[in-house]
Structure 1
Amino acid sequence: MKASSPTITVFVLFLVLLLSGVHISKAVTCDVTQLSPCLGAITSSSTPSSLCCTRIQNQKPCLCRYLKNPFLSQYVNSPGAKKVASYCRVPYPNC
């Protein structure tokens, strides 16, 4: 069975992308509950956990949305949240 030219072209393109190290990103679902491991570090002087840092890194595209939410902005805009973002090396958003 002989492969068609479009099939071969798609396969070669896929291989080129795979070998060139292009990362295909998946969409982020904004879910503030994903940041619950950070709550203790935001509201106290405790050090953020690695799980907190991973979660805040994953939710980074959502931080502006959280800042614009009147129920969440007081937490996201707090000194504790800025401390956690800095510790986790997540740039504080400029929305």
Structure 2
Amino acid sequence: MASAEQLKRMNDINDLIKLIASIDRCTFYCKSKNRIAYFRFRKKLFFVDDYTGADVYPYEMGYGRANGFSHGGNMWQLVNSFRKFIITGKYGELRDY
């Protein structure tokens, strides 16, 4: 189960994703489905994709694409950095974002 600190960090990241979805290219927002991506805890942390609506297990696997993830490799890296921050409180690599 998630700690109170992890839930707060998850809510902060979800607010950041809403901000990202509202500006410029509307990354993490699917206009046709009127849906914004977000993180949620079940037994583990999942990323809910804006286009597919699928629960994506946001852990780097080193091969291929994650099932249900509709964005490219840079966004996959960003989602994994968000996951690292939510779980550990440590900042991940933000590379060229």
TM-score by length of 2: 0.24
More strand by share: 2
More helix by share: 1
Q: Which has the higher contact order (CA 8 A, sep 6+)?
A: 1
